[in-house]
Amino acid sequence: MRTRLALVLALLCFSTTMLSGCIGLVASRELMEWNRGQPEIEAQPIQYKFEHTFDSTEIEAIIINPEPQSIKIDSEVSEMKILFRVEIPYSTFAGVDISNFTSEVRYVHARLWEPGANKNTDSPYWEDNATKTYYPQPKKFYPPFEEGVWELEVEAQGYGWTSPVDQLSFHDNFEVSLTLTRPCIIYPESADTGECIPV
Protein backbone atom coordinates (compact mmCIF):
# COMPACT_ATOMS: atom_id res chain seq x y z
CA MET A 1 0.00 0.00 0.00
CA ARG A 2 2.80 2.38 0.95
CA THR A 3 4.66 1.52 -2.29
CA ARG A 4 1.56 2.22 -4.39
CA LEU A 5 1.06 5.60 -2.66
CA ALA A 6 4.70 6.53 -3.27
CA LEU A 7 4.33 5.62 -6.94
CA VAL A 8 1.16 7.72 -7.33
CA LEU A 9 2.84 10.69 -5.60
CA ALA A 10 5.92 10.33 -7.80
CA LEU A 11 3.76 10.28 -10.98
CA LEU A 12 1.77 13.27 -9.75
CA CYS A 13 4.96 15.25 -9.03
CA PHE A 14 6.42 14.27 -12.41
CA SER A 15 3.30 15.30 -14.36
CA THR A 16 2.98 18.64 -12.53
CA THR A 17 6.63 19.37 -13.17
CA MET A 18 6.33 18.47 -16.87
CA LEU A 19 3.28 20.67 -17.44
CA SER A 20 4.46 23.82 -15.69
CA GLY A 21 7.28 26.35 -16.02
CA CYS A 22 10.29 25.98 -18.31
CA ILE A 23 10.22 22.19 -18.23
CA GLY A 24 6.62 22.29 -19.44
CA LEU A 25 7.70 24.49 -22.36
CA VAL A 26 10.41 22.00 -23.30
CA ALA A 27 7.91 19.15 -23.26
CA SER A 28 5.44 21.17 -25.36
CA ARG A 29 8.14 22.06 -27.87
CA GLU A 30 9.22 18.43 -28.20
CA LEU A 31 5.60 17.43 -28.79
CA MET A 32 5.22 20.10 -31.51
CA GLU A 33 8.46 19.00 -33.20
CA TRP A 34 7.26 15.40 -33.14
CA ASN A 35 3.97 16.43 -34.83
CA ARG A 36 5.69 18.72 -37.32
CA GLY A 37 6.82 15.99 -39.69
CA GLN A 38 10.18 15.36 -41.28
CA PRO A 39 11.64 18.30 -43.22
CA GLU A 40 12.92 17.79 -46.76
CA ILE A 41 15.61 19.65 -48.66
CA GLU A 42 14.58 20.79 -52.12
CA ALA A 43 16.04 23.14 -54.72
CA GLN A 44 13.75 26.20 -54.77
CA PRO A 45 13.69 29.28 -57.03
CA ILE A 46 13.84 32.70 -55.32
CA GLN A 47 12.92 35.61 -57.59
CA TYR A 48 13.77 39.32 -57.52
CA LYS A 49 11.92 41.43 -60.07
CA PHE A 50 11.38 44.87 -61.57
CA GLU A 51 8.27 45.25 -63.71
CA HIS A 52 6.57 48.36 -65.04
CA THR A 53 4.05 49.51 -67.64
CA PHE A 54 4.20 53.15 -68.66
CA ASP A 55 0.75 54.75 -68.81
CA SER A 56 1.42 58.45 -69.29
CA THR A 57 3.31 61.04 -71.32
CA GLU A 58 3.67 63.39 -68.32
CA ILE A 59 7.29 64.26 -67.54
CA GLU A 60 7.16 62.95 -63.95
CA ALA A 61 5.80 59.56 -65.09
CA ILE A 62 8.14 58.71 -67.96
CA ILE A 63 11.32 58.04 -65.94
CA ILE A 64 11.62 54.96 -63.73
CA ASN A 65 14.70 54.62 -61.51
CA PRO A 66 13.74 52.46 -58.49
CA GLU A 67 15.99 51.57 -55.56
CA PRO A 68 18.33 48.66 -56.44
CA GLN A 69 17.36 45.25 -55.11
CA SER A 70 19.83 43.63 -52.71
CA ILE A 71 20.41 39.93 -53.37
CA LYS A 72 22.29 37.76 -50.89
CA ILE A 73 24.33 35.04 -52.59
CA ASP A 74 26.26 32.34 -50.76
CA SER A 75 27.93 29.03 -51.61
CA GLU A 76 24.56 27.22 -51.68
CA VAL A 77 23.31 29.04 -54.82
CA SER A 78 23.48 26.58 -57.73
CA GLU A 79 22.13 28.74 -60.57
CA MET A 80 21.32 32.34 -61.43
CA LYS A 81 18.87 33.09 -64.25
CA ILE A 82 18.20 36.58 -65.63
CA LEU A 83 15.18 37.47 -67.75
CA PHE A 84 15.22 40.79 -69.61
CA ARG A 85 12.02 41.53 -71.56
CA VAL A 86 11.15 44.88 -73.15
CA GLU A 87 8.15 45.96 -75.24
CA ILE A 88 8.42 49.31 -77.01
CA PRO A 89 5.58 49.52 -79.54
CA TYR A 90 6.20 51.39 -82.78
CA SER A 91 9.98 51.05 -82.45
CA THR A 92 9.71 50.05 -86.09
CA PHE A 93 7.50 52.02 -88.44
CA ALA A 94 6.49 50.73 -91.89
CA GLY A 95 9.21 48.10 -91.58
CA VAL A 96 11.90 50.67 -90.73
CA ASP A 97 13.76 50.51 -87.41
CA ILE A 98 13.35 53.97 -85.85
CA SER A 99 14.76 53.06 -82.41
CA ASN A 100 18.00 54.92 -83.18
CA PHE A 101 15.98 58.15 -83.37
CA THR A 102 14.04 57.48 -80.14
CA SER A 103 16.76 55.78 -78.05
CA GLU A 104 17.28 58.88 -75.89
CA VAL A 105 13.64 58.94 -74.81
CA ARG A 106 12.62 55.25 -74.82
CA TYR A 107 15.00 52.75 -73.26
CA VAL A 108 15.50 50.16 -70.51
CA HIS A 109 18.97 49.67 -69.01
CA ALA A 110 19.63 46.98 -66.38
CA ARG A 111 22.79 46.00 -64.49
CA LEU A 112 23.85 43.40 -61.94
CA TRP A 113 26.74 44.33 -59.64
CA GLU A 114 28.92 41.99 -57.60
CA PRO A 115 29.62 42.71 -53.91
CA GLY A 116 32.00 45.63 -53.39
CA ALA A 117 31.93 46.77 -57.02
CA ASN A 118 32.73 50.42 -57.71
CA LYS A 119 29.93 51.55 -60.01
CA ASN A 120 32.06 54.42 -61.34
CA THR A 121 35.04 52.34 -62.47
CA ASP A 122 34.12 48.62 -62.51
CA SER A 123 32.16 46.73 -65.13
CA PRO A 124 28.89 45.11 -64.06
CA TYR A 125 28.72 41.32 -63.78
CA TRP A 126 25.86 41.50 -66.31
CA GLU A 127 24.08 44.30 -68.15
CA ASP A 128 21.67 44.76 -71.01
CA ASN A 129 20.06 47.71 -72.72
CA ALA A 130 17.09 47.96 -75.08
CA THR A 131 15.70 50.81 -77.17
CA LYS A 132 13.13 48.68 -79.00
CA THR A 133 11.04 45.57 -78.40
CA TYR A 134 13.48 42.92 -77.22
CA TYR A 135 12.93 39.31 -76.08
CA PRO A 136 16.33 37.61 -75.65
CA GLN A 137 16.61 34.12 -74.20
CA PRO A 138 17.09 34.12 -70.41
CA LYS A 139 20.76 34.14 -69.41
CA LYS A 140 21.96 31.44 -67.01
CA PHE A 141 25.02 31.63 -64.80
CA TYR A 142 26.58 28.94 -62.62
CA PRO A 143 28.99 28.93 -59.64
CA PRO A 144 31.40 29.95 -58.45
CA PHE A 145 29.75 33.26 -57.46
CA GLU A 146 31.31 35.87 -55.23
CA GLU A 147 29.60 35.54 -51.84
CA GLY A 148 27.92 38.59 -50.38
CA VAL A 149 25.21 41.11 -51.29
CA TRP A 150 24.77 41.74 -55.01
CA GLU A 151 22.70 44.59 -56.49
CA LEU A 152 20.23 44.46 -59.37
CA GLU A 153 19.31 47.86 -60.76
CA VAL A 154 17.25 49.19 -63.62
CA GLU A 155 16.72 52.59 -65.19
CA ALA A 156 14.07 53.15 -67.83
CA GLN A 157 12.24 55.84 -69.73
CA GLY A 158 9.09 55.22 -71.73
CA TYR A 159 5.62 56.38 -72.62
CA GLY A 160 2.07 55.21 -72.53
CA TRP A 161 -1.00 56.62 -74.22
CA THR A 162 -4.57 55.40 -74.31
CA SER A 163 -6.28 56.56 -77.46
CA PRO A 164 -10.03 56.67 -78.14
CA VAL A 165 -9.07 54.50 -81.12
CA ASP A 166 -7.77 51.32 -79.49
CA GLN A 167 -5.36 50.48 -82.32
CA LEU A 168 -3.48 53.73 -81.72
CA SER A 169 -2.94 53.11 -77.97
CA PHE A 170 0.50 52.07 -76.82
CA HIS A 171 2.23 51.35 -73.50
CA ASP A 172 5.95 50.72 -73.20
CA ASN A 173 6.65 48.05 -70.59
CA PHE A 174 9.45 45.87 -69.27
CA GLU A 175 10.34 43.07 -66.90
CA VAL A 176 13.78 42.44 -65.43
CA SER A 177 13.99 39.47 -63.10
CA LEU A 178 16.73 37.48 -61.43
CA THR A 179 15.97 33.98 -60.15
CA LEU A 180 18.31 32.15 -57.79
CA THR A 181 18.12 28.39 -57.33
CA ARG A 182 19.21 27.24 -53.91
CA PRO A 183 18.42 24.37 -51.51
CA CYS A 184 15.73 25.14 -48.96
CA ILE A 185 14.37 23.27 -45.95
CA ILE A 186 10.69 22.50 -46.60
CA TYR A 187 8.45 21.43 -43.73
CA PRO A 188 5.30 19.46 -44.67
CA GLU A 189 2.91 22.00 -43.11
CA SER A 190 4.51 24.95 -44.96
CA ALA A 191 4.99 23.27 -48.36
CA ASP A 192 2.26 25.42 -49.97
CA THR A 193 3.59 28.78 -48.74
CA GLY A 194 6.68 28.78 -50.96
CA GLU A 195 8.77 30.01 -48.04
CA CYS A 196 12.46 29.18 -48.43
CA ILE A 197 14.28 28.41 -45.19
CA PRO A 198 17.98 28.41 -46.20
CA VAL A 199 19.97 25.27 -45.47
Q: Where in the chain is the domain with CATH 2.60.120?
A: 40-188
- Asked whether 92 and 110 are in contact (CB, 8 A), the reply is no
Q: What confidence score (pLDDT) does residue 151 get?
A: 98
pTM: 0.73
* Distant-in-sequence, close-in-space partners of 135: CB < 8 Å, separation ≥ 6: 85, 86
- Across the range 157-170, mean pLDDT stands at 86
CA separation for the pair 26, 15 (Å, rounded): 13
Tens-place pLDDT, residues 105-137: 899 999 999 999 999 999 999 999 999 999 999
Q: Round to whole Å and give the CA distance between 185 and 183.
A: 7
How confident is the model at residue 126, as a pLDDT?
98
Write down the architecture of domain 40-188 according to CATH.
Answer: Sandwich (2.60)
